[in-house]
Amino acid sequence: MADSPSPTIAVPPPTALPAGRPAALPENPFAEGIRNRRVVEPCVIVLFGATGDLTHRKLLPALYNLARDGLLPQHVAIVGLARREKTDESFRQDLIEGLKRSSRSFSEADPLWQRFKSAIFYHPASFEESLGYRVLGERLERLDKELGTEGNRLFYLATGPEYFSPIVRLLGEAGLARPQEGPNSGAGPAAPAGPPGSRKRPWVRVVVEKPFGRDLPSAIGLNRELLAVLEESQIYRIDHYLGKETVQNILAFRFSNGIFEPLWNHKYIDHVQITVAEDLGVGSRGPYYDSSGALRDMVQNHMLQLLALVAMEPPVSMEADAVRDEKVKVLRALRPMTPEEVLRSAIRGQYAAGSILGEPVRAYRDEDRVPKDSATPTYVALRLHIDNWRWAGVPFYLRHGKRLPRRATEIAIQFHTPPMRLFGEASAPAASPNVLILNIQPDEGISLCFGSKVPGPDVRIRQVKMDFRYGHSFGVASPDAYERLLLDAIAGDSTLFTRRDEVEYAWKFVNPLLETWAAEGSRGLHFYPAGTWGPESADRLFEGAGGHWRRM
C-alpha cells in the first residue's frame, strides 16, 4: 500500500465580485444560518466503498468541484477505503474517467488536479474486519500530522446498507467514532475560534447513504445500532434530493416572499401534486430494485421529504433542528392508512413492454435478473391527507414511476377556481385554475399559470405561463446536489440531512402500504405499457374531488 506524505490542496480563492456589485445581500433573518454554516475546518474525508459507482460518479466529482470553487478547506485529505487491492496512484488514475464525465470542469493538465490528487489516498480493508480499522486509525493520525487536518474526520458510508451497522460498530471499537482529544464536538457546527494560539476541539461525523431501513422495524433497529456508538448529532443521513437547488429554494420561495405564504393553506389551495417521473428502467440493478420497489426506493424518502418541505409551518429560524422539527410535524400529521384505505387511495403498477422515443422497451419482468412472476411495483400513485389546521381537506397526490415518457420532477400547487364565470356565457367552460409549478429537474425553475385576455374585440380568457429558470436568470448551472451536501457535512450543518424521528415517522406511514401489498401479492398490480404515464386506474384517485393528473 502506498503511503507517501503529500502537500495540502491549495485551492483557488473565491471569485472576486464584479465591479459595481454590492458586497453583501440585504439582511434577511433566514440568511443568518447560511452565513454562519460556511465555517469549514481542516479534515480527513474517508470514503467507504471507494471503488463503487457513487464515489466515481458523484462524490469525487463533487469534492473536485468544491475545490475548484474554493470551498474546501485548504488542509484536507481524501482517503478511499474498499476491499480491492490498489495503491494511492492507481486509485487516483481510476478516478479520472469519472471526473471527466461528471465534473463541471476537469482537465488532467489543470494544475488544480495535480494538487488535488496529491491529497487523495487509498486504504485497502474489509468492511467487517477490525484489523483494517486499527491500521486506518494509525494512517489518519499520520495524515493529521503531515497535512494539518487537526483530527477532524468525516466518514462517508457509500456502501450497501448491510454494512452500515458493522462499519459504525468497528469504527467505535477502533476508537475512531469519537474525537481523539478533548470532549466530543462532532455534534454540530465547528466551535467558534478561541484566543489566538488555542486549538479547536476535533470532530467526527458519519454520513449514511440510503436506504435507511426496509421498513419501520428495520429502520428503528438500524437507528438503535448506530446510536449505540454515535451521538444523533454525529449522524448525517443523506437524501440527495434535498441538495437539489430547487428543493432548497422551496423554503426560500415560501418564507422570503409575502405574496404566496398567505395563500398557502386550505382556503386557497385545491390540491397539490408531486410527480417524480423517470424514463429509465432498472438497468443492471434488477436484484436490488426487485427487493425494494418504487415505494421504498423513492416515495418513503425523496417524495415524503418534498411533501414535508411544501407543507411545513415556518420554522422559528433556519437552524437545523428548527427546520427539521417542522418537517417532523408534517410527517406526524399524515393520516394513517388502513388496509381498506390502501386499496382505495394507493395504486401500484409495473411497466410492460412498450416504446420510448420510438425505441422498443422490454417489460420489467424481462429485465436482467428479475423474476418472471415479480409483483414489485415500478409505479406508485397515492392520495394523502395531512390532518392539521393548514391543510384540512386538501388532498396531496404523489406519483412516481419508471419507464414513463420523460424524466421530470415537479411540485404543482393548484389553487381553487374562481367562484363565478364573469367572462363568457354560463355554458362556457369554467375558468382554468391557477397553478404554481416548482420544477425540480431537469429544467430547474418556477412557473405560474394564470388567465389572461386574448387580444381582440371578444373577451376570451386563455391560460398563460410566467416562467423563471435558474440557468437563464443566474447565468450559471446549478451545482450538483452532492456538492452542497458534502460541504454542509464538512461544515457541521445538518439542516438538509434527515433526523432519526423523520426517518421513523416516514416509515410509520409507509409500513401499512407495504404490509397490505405484500398480503395482496399480484392482485391489484396494474400493468402499464412502457412510455405511457402509468396505469389508467391511477386516475380514479381524483374521483369525487375533480381534477386530473397534470400533463408534463
CA angle 397, 305, 257 (to 5 degrees): 85
CA angle 410, 480, 307 (to 5 degrees): 30
Q: Which three cell numbers stand for residue 284?
A: 443492471
Three-state SS at 532: coil
DSSP state of 386: B
What's the 3-state SS for 242-308?
HHCHHHHHHHHHHHCCCCCHHHCCCCCEEEEEEEEECCCCCCCCHHHHHHHHHHHHHHHHHHHHHHH
Pick from 258, 271, 259, 267: which is nearest to 310 by CA? 271
Q: Which three cell numbers stand for residue 291?
A: 427487493
What's the 3-state SS for 299-349?
HHHHHHHHHHHHHCCCCCCCCHHHHHHHHHHHHHHECCCCHHHHHHHEEEE
Question: H/E element holding 356?
Answer: strand 354-356
HSE-up of residue 136 (Cα within 13 Å, Cβ side): 32
* Calpha distance 427→222 (Å, rounded): 60
DSSP state of 72: S
Pick from 268, 283, 280: which is nearest to 434 by CA? 268
φ/ψ of 14, rounded to 5, equals: -55, 150
533 Cβ partners below 8 Å, 6+ apart? 277, 401, 404, 405, 549
Q: What strands, in cross-sheet order, belong to the sheet with 120-124?
A: 120-124, 76-82, 43-48, 153-157, 204-208, 235-237
**Choice among 266, 302, 385, 400 that is catalytic:** 302
For residue 400, give the amino acid letter. Answer: H
* Calpha distance 11→108 (Å, rounded): 16
HSE-up of residue 542 (Cα within 13 Å, Cβ side): 16
* Calpha distance 60→120 (Å, rounded): 10
Q: Annotated catalytic, 548?
A: no
φ/ψ of 271, rounded to 5, equals: -165, 170
Instruction: Report the relative pairing of strands 435-441 and 445-453 from DSSP bridges.
Output: antiparallel
Catalytic residues: 302
